[in-house]
Structure 1
């Protein structure tokens, strides 16, 4: 991105501390293991400089992050869940960097970050399109055709490990672009910018189709409707809602056109089997769980379907962290909800509030059938957006 804006531009507009944040944002568009490496490296560097400690001192209830991650690490080791122990340290690094982000985020930096993400989403789409052409060539198809494949290895993921993670990132990209549209004060004057944002949305929606992720569409629809309702864009909300209803009617009368309809029964059957295993283990370890990645750690004992997590945001946290683990982090979560509520009450930036709530709604809608938020890039991006109310820390 500095190739586009220039090093001098970054030095002129942002502090040294803020440039750390920009590097972290850019890392999200690298393969996940590189992104994780960059985030851990930045966090350790900031820890050695005393910046992370300062962020903890200045952030209310942040000590509960240490309690939560420490408990998760110990529980993981107790059950010999070494992947979970590693994840616990990774969660600590990401949450610590997010606290640092909260200390240095400003309105100018936030808008710059949003612009970077929108531009880079197009590059991710181009990479995904090249990947899709390679998939077509594998099937000896030498022209561009829209084919929705069933097998995970035949669905595009761009740089986001698998198709479902990319789909959630696209949900976020689209809502960020909607946020930027709502920030345009006069569309007639800024029609070029408006058309650019519409083009970005169209590109990302096309790529969402190629991911063949069905769960992403209702989640995205819910997120967009929420952001429009909270921002009081009722006419646009009604128009999009009408489009959603028409799409639903179309698929009711043309079920064969629904993406991957031929495996939908098997899909739900597999999910049911995963949830049964998760529930069974929750019953035996209700208080502390067995640490992150518990499902991957225990599925063989139950002859369950092999996968990394419980494919449910409503089950996996309880499976991994237990009741006490969740209660340990709850004071920190409640404190953040209070700050978001105060921002909403002040009416300083209702569009930002709308963006944060829309992200959260999408996570819980998508999370009914999947747990795509528990990943480096998706989780980090959500935490950054959800913590951005500290742009107005002086007012709050």
Structure 2
């Protein structure tokens, strides 16, 4: 009997290298500390077998990963930022595993991975719904009703540590399901599959509502629109954009219906305080930063708001790694952008290009007010998709 996660199916369709990758993907739906432990264990095992070293030899500019993580580790230890030192090692493990992923990824494996993630997103939603019912019972609500809570402890997170991380994962789940819809040769002939993906999207959007994360909605909107534009579905893009504008107009005339509207001012004041602290420390350490997780290391010095990071993708990397640190990894990033551009230019798989660009657009939209991409599950899933151009490495290297 066919079982999508069955051992026999994996042995029949994928080699042992690819099965390592599948195990890593499944670990995304474990609690973050277990996911991190699995990824580090797999990387160490592959290092012991010489597979990681081979990946570094094959992938252009990959040595800059070692330079970047080594510099980050040294800077973290210099400032006694031990959280940052641990993160530096974790970043090295994840990026090294992604190099291994790049030399073994195939189109069949990638589609299988996407299918696995889509299925497991429904299980994560089911777990989140159970969590939500428990929250309702805690506040003495005995029946199932939609209540948007403000307190972090009353917002669902499923298996993703907090509500904002789960919200970013939902952004990715929705885009992956939408990608599968774009890959359907005909909706009419594949209506059951189309309906399945629509249901997955609907379930995840409902769970996003329960996370009470506001920033994720414009991120998803931006991601979906860019996917349609790159895939040249202009008519569908115009229709969805019109619907989004109607929703915006509705909230303009009914501001009380906007999620967590009562704490928007306090929310932005808190963010402003965090950003001021981050900018102040960037001015004193502009070249090398103080290593990952710098904000949690330095906020008491500035009497800042206590939190883990600077809540901005535009500030936190500079705060943590400095200008020199970011320039150290820049050649590797530039090489990846070149390969993505080559994939788009050759018009090999426009749906995959659309997915990769959409993921990036979403993290930069969401990253205006948060830094949820700097986390084991969100970061690994993004980098996994963003590295998938090597499905077509033979065509790219030709």
- Shorter-chain TM-score bucket reads over 0.9
Note if 1:132 corresponds to 2:132. Answer: yes
Corresponding position of 1:315: 315
Q: Structure 2 matches for 1:149-298, cutoff 5 A?
A: 149-298=149-298
Corresponding position of 1:26: 26
CA distance in 1, matches of 2:211, 2:5: 31
Decide whether the 8 Å contact of 2:118 with 2:200 is kept in 1: yes
CA distance in 2, matches of 1:350, 1:365: 22
Corresponding position of 2:367: 367
Give CA-to-partner distance per residue, 1:216-265, whole Å, 9 cap, x none. Answer: 00011000000000000111111110111001000000000000000000
1:159 aligned counterpart, secondary structure: coil
CA distance in 1, matches of 2:181, 2:107: 16
CA distance in 1, matches of 2:3, 2:190: 26
Q: CA RMSD in A?
A: 0.7
Q: Normalising by structure 1, what TM-score?
A: 0.99
Corresponding position of 2:89: 89
Give CA-to-partner distance per residue, 1:82-138, whole Å, 9 cap, x none. Answer: 000000000000000000000100000000000000000000000000000000000
1:394 aligned counterpart, secondary structure: helix
Corresponding position of 1:123: 123
Q: Single out whichever of 231-240 and 286-295 deviates more from structure 2.
A: 231-240
Q: How far apart are 1:6 and its partner, in Å?
A: 1.5
Give CA-to-partner distance per residue, 1:126-163, whole Å, 9 cap, x none. Answer: 00000000000001111110000000000000000000
1:373 aligned counterpart, secondary structure: coil
Q: How far apart are 1:5 and its partner, in Å?
A: 3.5
CA distance in 1, matches of 2:159, 2:300: 29
CA distance in 1, matches of 2:166, 2:86: 23
Give CA-to-partner distance per residue, 1:49-89, whole Å, 9 cap, x none. Answer: 00000000000000000000000000000000000000000
CA distance in 2, matches of 1:142, 1:234: 46
CA distance in 2, matches of 1:139, 1:190: 44
Note if 1:35 corresponds to 2:35. Answer: yes
Corresponding position of 1:327: 327
Q: Structure 2 matches for 1:324-363, cutoff 5 A?
A: 324-363=324-363
CA distance in 1, matches of 2:17, 2:100: 9
Decide whether the 8 Å contact of 2:3 with 2:9 is kept in 1: no
CA distance in 2, matches of 1:141, 1:124: 23
1:41 aligned counterpart, secondary structure: helix
Decide whether the 8 Å contact of 2:289 with 2:321 is kept in 1: yes
CA distance in 1, matches of 2:118, 2:243: 24
Corresponding position of 1:378: 378
Corresponding position of 1:74: 74
CA distance in 1, matches of 2:16, 2:132: 39
Decide whether the 8 Å contact of 2:59 with 2:99 is kept in 1: yes
1:393 aligned counterpart, secondary structure: helix
CA distance in 1, matches of 2:365, 2:4: 36
Give CA-to-partner distance per residue, 1:24-70, whole Å, 9 cap, x none. Answer: 00000000000000000000000000000000000000000000000
CA distance in 1, matches of 2:319, 2:6: 46
Count, aligned residues: 395
Runs of 4+ in 1 over 3 A off after TM superposition: 2-5
CA distance in 1, matches of 2:206, 2:289: 39
Corresponding position of 2:302: 302
Q: How far apart are 1:186 and its partner, in Å?
A: 1.1
Q: How far apart are 1:4 and its partner, in Å?
A: 4.2
In structure 1, the gaps of 5 or more residues are none
Corresponding position of 1:109: 109
Decide whether the 8 Å contact of 2:61 with 2:331 is kept in 1: yes
Q: How far apart are 1:3 and its partner, in Å?
A: 6.0
Q: How far apart are 1:187 and its partner, in Å?
A: 1.0
2:65 aligned counterpart, secondary structure: helix
